[in-house]
Amino acid sequence: MKKNLIFSALLAPIALLQISKPALAEYGRGTIEEATVISAQPVYRTVRVNEPIEQCWDEPVHVSSNSGYYSHTPKILGAIVGAAVGNEFGSGRGKDLATVAGAVLGGSIGRDIQANHARRNSRVLYEKRCELVDRYRTEERIDGYEVDYRYNNQIYSTFTQHDPGPTLTVSVNVVPVE
């Protein structure tokens, strides 16, 4: 008895697979029939598509010809000269402030002179630089098909995701009107 139950449990799914398509349709949705397609017109929609492209250019780069060595002498000399000039102005506490201000200003001027000299003694090299840039285009894509079909000498319309070809499978369900 136990063997019969196991055997029946294994055969039940196989038996269900043997039921025909029309029989399943009648059980749940109606009878499956074929209708003749009269026309199938594609329905398009416009979409915006991004295709990033790489844009490259040569960018000038200033390279110092003194191998990166910078002397602190111009800044120090500028600070000393600035301090000496600042010391000549003011008196008392003002003289000290003028000396400090002169030293700071002189150091800054010395640094600027050195930087200007370095720029004049530099050369220009070109390095390739690239970046991705968005490029948009529009294209037409098929959204589906407006289908007109004939069934039982009546004309019907529907929308399908795919071109149905010469026939369209339809489910016919007859329900009595009370």
Task: Determine contact, residues 147/159, Cβ cutoff 8 Å.
Answer: yes
Which residues have a Cβ under 8 Å from the Cβ of 148 and sit 6 or more positions away? 37, 38, 39, 40, 155, 156, 157
Could you tell me the pTM of the whole model? 0.43
Range name among 27-36, 134-143, 148-157 with the lowest pLDDT average: 27-36
What's the pLDDT band for 65 if we cut at 50, 70, 90? Answer: low
The pLDDT, as a whole number, for residue 117 is 63
What's the pLDDT band for 113 if we cut at 50, 70, 90? Answer: confident
The pLDDT, as a whole number, for residue 10 is 44
Q: List, for residues 2-44, the tens digit of each pLDDT value.
A: 444 444 444 444 444 444 444 444 445 689 999 999 999 999 9
